[in-house]
Amino acid sequence: MRLTNSNRSRERGSALVDIALSFAALVTVSLLSLKASTVTTSSLSWTVKQAMTDAYITRETAMSSRIPFELAVSNSSPWPTYPSIATTQVVVGKLPGAKDVTATLHRTRFPDANNLNSAGGTGTATSNPSSSEAWKLESLLVYNIGPRQYVKSRTTLRVR
């Protein structure tokens, strides 16, 4: 049996349709795979940024605990007396591709109400006979992940 020209062109045309359908299926699978990997990567990025900011605020807590008391309550302290606030842009880490992860660090300190007047409080020799002094050193780290803003805060109580 011999194929005529019209049968041959139908076979060629159906091969072209098969190739087009195969290509469409391949593109669809590729796009779905790309979307799945993007979703996975974005959630990993959120986790990595949370870990970086946790590490930074932990470092901040360690610093507020270890700074000499005299420096912590001096005029040159990194934690100014409230209502003054020290604000600094900080780099908390780097993402792959050397992309900086930045945040804003706010610091301030509050005197205890029972401190003597010389130490910022309203205490008296009767209410504070040992002339003890207490300060709360507060650090707030404000950062963005995508469109959302997050805040982590730590307060350290220093007493002498």
pLDDT digits (tens, 9 = 90+) for 56-115: 999 999 999 999 999 999 999 999 999 999 999 999 998 877 788 999 999 999 998 888
CA pair distance 56, 89, nearest whole angstrom: 13
| Mean pLDDT computed over every residue of the chain | 85
pLDDT at position 152, please? 96
pLDDT at position 5, please? 57
For residue 132, which of 106, 108, 109, 113 has the smallest C-alpha distance?
113
pLDDT at position 76, please? 93
Which position has the token pair 């087009």?
20
CA pair distance 133, 131, nearest whole angstrom: 6
Residue ranges of domains in the chain: 5-159
Which residues does residue 100 pair with via DSSP β-bridges, in sequence order? 94
